[in-house]
Amino acid sequence: MPSDATVAVSQDGLTTLLHGLLPNGPISKSSEVEWELFSASYDVSIAVSGGSIQLNDLAQVIRFLDINVAGHAHAEAACDLGKILPHLCIPPVQICTPGFFGRKFCTPQYCPTWPSVSIPITIPLDINVSADFNLNVVEDGSNFNIVLGVIPSSLVIDATPMAGLILQAVKDYLHPIFAEIPHIISKVIDDLVHTAISAFDDAAKNLAILIRTLLHDLILGSDLLAPSAGITLLSFSKTQVLIPSDGTPANPDVSITLTKLKVNIADGELVATADIA
Amino acid sequence: MGLTNGHAAFASLSASAINRFIYNLAKARPRYFRFASGSPPSYLGPFEHVPALHLPGASGGGVDYILEITLPQLDLYPGSGSQQLPAPLTLGPNQFSITTGLTICIAKDYKIVGHKVVPVEDCATLNIWAVGELSTSDPHNVQLDLGAHADNIILKNVGDLESIGENLSLILVNALLQKMTYPVKKQALGALTFSVADGPRIEDQQIKAWGDLS
């Protein structure tokens, strides 16, 4: 006996529906962090597009494959260079000669005071992400909804390139600052940059992870992939009006009522079946 | 491929769903199933008023009558086996069968009961079987209507009046089926914006349609 009502959507059909669910325009999120020597405020702004659907009959899972995430991550990393750089004088040693009346004459020496800096960092983003969803039917007042629930562990974003980009941005910012110090030679500049970068290395890696986490939360928190509420892929009103009223009391709506909805993935399709009372 | 067969979406309603629709139609719009002239007895409920039968030479306002269409039961190819169609009717691919009945009562006389004038009824019931096909108003249009016509109809137990009875019943049944028109895309139950690309077709005891998502 066939089901009272059957609605099926193909993989291509679901891809069309998916594109209708992607957020229009960019979405963004920001946060802050403080460590012992550094602090940073950072934000991520992305636009989500593309992607296709793969249906897994066996696992009853829908995979959104290769959704393109493009945009930028910005960060302002602040630190007091005085806390990470050694006290430096140029030249390191003053040469003094005794002069008249007990006074000494010394060669000039410059000892810079290291400033606090706020380093702007921009990381371009252009990555593909995939995520898996399971299917549920949720009764919501007058509707049966087919809801997708994201499996959060399935969303994998590779952050390793970001740490290198962060360190490069720090290097590019500090190099000219050090180069402005009077009488400084380039070897010393390089040593100073190297010292600063080494101090910042762990922080850069942590910042990359934080940015990746922010990106992860932003994608998961968007309308597309809301993990708590789930995404409503299809909504079926329990009362289906097949012949609407013509407005006269003698001719009210003629409807059928859905009493139950089931959904599953079979033969590479999403199949919803309903009982009718 | 499965159900969608190369299209983006598929939607079907089974014979039992359509029969539930017919039942709800009869409940919501009983006047489609009951006709009467004059002042019929109250057991009839809501009805569509029709003129009395005027016979030549008869006096008075004509013969009052009641016509009731029994709740039709639909079956879809290849058939559930619950409806036995009398020969020569057969249920073929893309066809539906309908089993219904017609009860005709005429007021042959009147009597006084208490203070009221009450008709004395003479009733007969015809059993009707019909086979039909879907029709759509415009196959190239996004909105397709499901209508049907019964093009082969059998009456029993009416002797020589069989042919006349069949023709009249065909007219009545088709008039009823005309009122059961609904847009095919509603089979997607409002969940999808569905434009029909193939069908509707009757197979596997369902009315099936395939479409694209706009």
Chain B residues lying within 8 Å of A244, measured CB to CB:
none
Give the number of other Cβ atoms within 10 Å of residue A68's Cβ.
15
Measured CA to CA, the distance from residue A75 to residue A41 in angstroms comes to: 6
CA B55 to chain centre: 29
Q: State pTM to two decimals.
A: 0.78
Give the model's pLDDT for residue A145: 94
CB-closest option in B4, B28, B191 to A234: B191
Measured CA to CA, the distance from residue A165 to residue A177 in angstroms comes to: 19
Contact A198/B at CB under 8 A: no
A199-210 per-position pLDDT tens digit: 888 888 888 888
Chain A residues lying within 8 Å of B11, measured CB to CB:
5-8
Contact A8/B at CB under 8 A: yes
CA B190 to chain centre: 25
Measured CA to CA, the distance from residue B36 to residue B63 in angstroms comes to: 11
B106-135 per-position pLDDT tens digit: 888 888 888 888 888 888 888 888 888 887
CB-closest option in A16, A237, A253 to B8: A16
Tell if the CB–CB gap between B189 and A1 is shorter than 8 Å: no
B46-58 per-position pLDDT tens digit: 999 999 888 887 7
Q: How many inter-chain contacts (A to B, CB under 8 Å) are there?
A: 120
Tell if the CB–CB gap between A7 and B181 is shorter than 8 Å: no
Give the model's pLDDT for residue B142: 35
Q: What is the 3-state secondary structure (H, E, C) of chain A?
A: CCCCEEEEEEHHHHHHHHHHHCCCCCEEEEEEEECCCEEEEEEEEEEEEEEEEEEECCCCEEEEEEEEEEEEEEEEEEEEHHHCCCCCCECCCCCEEECHHHCEEECCCECCCCCEEEEEEEEEEEEEEEEEEEEEEEEECCEEEEEEEEEHHHCCCCCHHHHHHHHHHHHHHHHHHHHCCCCCCHHHHHHHHHHHHHHHHHHHHHHHHHHHHHHHHHHHHCCCCCCCCCEEEEEEECEEEEECCCCCCCCCCEEEEEEEEEEEEECCEEEEEEEEC
Tell if the CB–CB gap between A5 and B7 is shorter than 8 Å: no
Give the model's pLDDT for residue B138: 56
Structural contact between residues A50 and A40, judged by C-beta atoms closer than 8 angstroms: no
B108 vs B149: which has the higher pLDDT: B108
pLDDT of A139 > 50? The answer is yes
Chain A residues lying within 8 Å of B17, measured CB to CB:
4-5, 256, 276
Give the model's pLDDT for residue B143: 38
Q: Which chain A residues in 129-158 lie under 8 Å from chain B, judged by CB atoms?
A: 146
Tell if the CB–CB gap between A235 and B204 is shorter than 8 Å: no
Chain A residues lying within 8 Å of B186, measured CB to CB:
240, 242
Structural contact between residues B36 and B44, judged by C-beta atoms closer than 8 angstroms: yes
Structural contact between residues A146 and A135, judged by C-beta atoms closer than 8 angstroms: yes
pLDDT of A226 > 70? The answer is no
Tell if the CB–CB gap between A10 and B9 is shorter than 8 Å: yes
Residues paired with residue A153 on neighbouring β-strands, in sequence order: none
**Which tokens sit at B119?**
């008709």
Burial class (CB in 10 A: 0-12, 13-18, 19+), B130: buried
Give the model's pLDDT for residue B204: 94
Q: Which chain A residues in 244-273 lie under 8 Å from chain B, judged by CB atoms?
A: 250-256, 258, 266-269, 271-272
Interface pTM, i.e. ipTM: 0.84
d(CA A17, nearest CA chain B) in Å: 8
CB-closest option in B8, B186, B192 to A234: B192
CB-closest option in B6, B182, B213 to A242: B182
pLDDT of A223 > 60? The answer is no
A151-205 per-position pLDDT tens digit: 878 887 766 677 888 888 888 888 888 888 777 778 888 888 888 888 888 888 8
**Which tokens sit at A81?**
């260079």
Give the number of other Cβ atoms within 10 Å of residue B161's Cβ.
11
